Every structure is written in C-alpha cells, then in structure tokens.
A and B are shown apart, each in its own frame.
Chain A
Amino acid sequence: MDKTVQEKILGIIGEKFESEILSIETPYDFLTIDFKRDHIIDLIKYLYDHPVAKFQYLTTLCGIHYPDSKQIAVMYQLHSLVNNWRLRIKIFLPEENAVTPTLTTVFAAANWMERETYDFFGIQFTGHPDLRRILNVEEMIIFPMRKEYPLEDQTREDKEDFMFGR
C-alpha cells in the first residue's frame, strides 16, 4: 500500500473522525488504525457510505487479548473492492467489562464473526440478535482464547508434562 493511498484513506477518515484516532501503524504495509471505542459503528458506517472510499466488504473481525495492559482488542478488517484498499481498525476494551455495540447493523456477515469473538474472548456485543457460542460446546464456562486458559485438555492423566515441554 503506497503512501498516497494511505494519505487518501487518512484524509477521508480525518474529515469527520480526526479526534478519534489513537495511533496509526503500517505493519507489513497494512494500514492499521487504533481508534477510541465510542463511535466505532458510526466510523464504519461512514466508511461504508462514503462515495469515494466505499469500504463495503468486511474481511474479518476478531478479538485479541493483551494481558499485560489488561485489555481485549476488537480488530475489524475492511476492504474497499472498488479501490482495492485494505484497512484494519482496532479498538481496545477493558478486560473486566468488554462491551461494544454490534456491527450487524452495517454488515450482516458480522453476525457469526461476533459470535465467534464472544465464544473465545467473552466480548459482549450489545444489540446482537443471537449472541451465543458457535464453535465450542454450549455448556462451556470459560473463554478459551484468553491467555490465562491453557490449551491442553486438563482431564488427561497419562501425559507426563516433562515429555511435552510443560
């Protein structure tokens, strides 16, 4: 992604949401913007409707757990098919109270993606029509992708930790 495209996108966002930007990075040439969490749905709707930007494809949405700063991030990847621009947006939520509004009003595809994010990180999406676990067993009480939960099944008796590097 070259500099002029980045500047164009930042200019489009800056028209209305200049104050919401927390930081801008380009890891591996991919424009990543950290936003304040309050008006995230308005921002994405604005990018969706904007006549030039037209970010009308939600590539993915997922959660990221940062235990050091006690935050869980929600990451949205948007793609403008008309211009072939890709954009990543991250918002940070506190660990104890990870609540954010749902994106299903803008993108219908966010429905199952938010269910997966809830299933693995415990982020509550307010306004979601059907927020329940999608990949794990319904009776599960933990959120497995959070860093405090181990990967391994805890009911095995026959595996020696030493042989498996634990």
Chain B
Amino acid sequence: MQSADTKNTEIKLVEKPEGYEGAGFFATSLEKVVGMARKNSIWPLPFATSCCGIEFMATMGAHYDLARFGSERLSFSPRQADLLMVMGTIAKKMGPVLRQVYEQMAEPRWVLSVGACACSGGIFDTYSVLQGIDRIIPVDVYVPGCPPRPEQIINGIMKIQHLVETESLRRRDSPEYKAMLNKYGIE
C-alpha cells in the first residue's frame, strides 16, 4: 500500500513569466502574460468526423485527461472556440462546411489536423475524399497517425500551446498573415 506522501497530490501552478517584482506589483511584458493566459486556457472545437474522433474521446477521458491542459470546456460553437481540431476523414462534400466553421471562428484561432485523413487524405486516395484539409483552410499543427494515440494528440496540443505562447500580439494584423489568408480565399 503506497503511503500518502509518495502519491502525486501536489497541485501544480503555471510558472510566472520573467519580470520585475516588488511589494504588491509585478511588471512584465504584455505578450508574455497574454501568451501564458491563452496557452493554458485553449477552448477547442472538436470537429470529429470518424475514427480519430474516438481517439479524441479517449483523450478527453480521465486516463489521458486533456482538461488538465486547460481545455476543460469544449465548444461546439465556432464563435466561442480558439482551436479547431479536425479529426477524421473530410469528404469533398464536407469541405464547404468545414470552411464555413473555420470562417466563423474569431481571431486568434488555431487549427490542429489530427490523423492521416485530415492531414493528407490518408489511405483514401479517392474521388470523394478531400486530400488534406490544408487545401481549404490553413493548418498550424499536423498530428500524423491512423489513428494517433491519445499521447500523440496531446503532443500536438502541446505544440499548439507553444505556438500560442510565443505568438506575437500583432501577428494577426500583419500583411504576411493577410496574404496567407488570401491564398485560401478567406477575407
């Protein structure tokens, strides 16, 4: 029987960023604080279509808990979500729907493509399957696998967290970003 002090019951808090501290105040850069806050409270939109959606369900379960990364609240409304997780095969008929969901999300928004089918069409090289969602929307992180294990999905989320933390506050207004969106035909 394990004794109580060998069990991991210590609550871990996020480390504060570097800054100048004094009695009753703490000065740091806005980007660091905003990055830290956004990184630990990503609200995902699970766009789960097929088998990878089941792996996502396992990831959200208690064993591979995704909620400890701050994603406790899943949103099925794109207006209230930060991260669009596309998990599963996207058919060409589903393409415009996915695009409309992406366009309805508010900035800043990130896209995680989970599984071989969302990344590149997977094993379904056919007339009806979209050969990768990056043909219609910009993708930030790709998670390969068929299906990827929950640990791999969590790794993808951690990479998204790194992107969120280190993103410049002015990125979304920059001309390069707008040019990239124009390439996809998104205003």
**B contact residues, range:** under 10
Answer whether residue B121 sits at the interface, using C-beta atoms and an 8 A cutoff: yes
Nearest residue (CB) in A for B96 is A137
Identify which of residues 118-166 in chain A touch chain B, using a CB-to-CB cut-off of 8 Å: 135-137, 142, 144, 149-153, 155-156, 159, 164
CB contact under 8 A between A137 and B131, given known A153-B121, A153-B125, A159-B125:
no
**Whole-angstrom distance between the alpha carbons of A2 and B8 in the complex?**
69
Inter-subunit contact A136/B125 (CB<8 Å): no
A interface residues, tally (CB under 8 Å): 14
**Whole-angstrom distance between the alpha carbons of A152 and B129 in the complex?**
10
Answer whether residue B92 sits at the interface, using C-beta atoms and an 8 A cutoff: yes
Residues from chain A with a CB closer than 8 A to the CB of B92 are: 136-137
Tell me what chain B mostly uses at the interface: helix, strand, loop, or mixed: loop
CB-based A-B contact count at 8 angstroms? 32
Tell me what chain A mostly uses at the interface: helix, strand, loop, or mixed: loop
**Whole-angstrom distance between the alpha carbons of A156 and B128 in the complex?**
13
Inter-subunit contact B93/A156 (CB<8 Å): no
Contact of B93 among A137, A144, A155 (CB under 8 A): A137
Residues from chain A with a CB closer than 8 A to the CB of B126 are: 151-153
CB contact under 8 A between A151 and B131, given known A136-B93, A137-B93:
no
Q: Mark A47-80, 1 if CB is under 8 A from B, else 0.
A: 0000000000000000000000000000000000
Contact of A144 among B121, B125, B128, B131 (CB under 8 A): B128
User: What is the interface of chain A, defined by CB distance below 8 A to chain B?
Assistant: 135-137, 142, 144, 149-153, 155-156, 159, 164
Q: With A136-B127, A137-B93, A152-B125 given, can you name 19 additional A-B contacts, CB distance below 8 Å?
A: A135-B128, A136-B93, A142-B127, A144-B127, A144-B128, A150-B127, A151-B125, A151-B126, A151-B127, A152-B126, A153-B121, A153-B125, A153-B126, A153-B129, A153-B131, A155-B131, A156-B121, A156-B131, A164-B125
User: What is the interface of chain B, defined by CB distance below 8 A to chain A?
Assistant: 92-93, 121, 125-129, 131
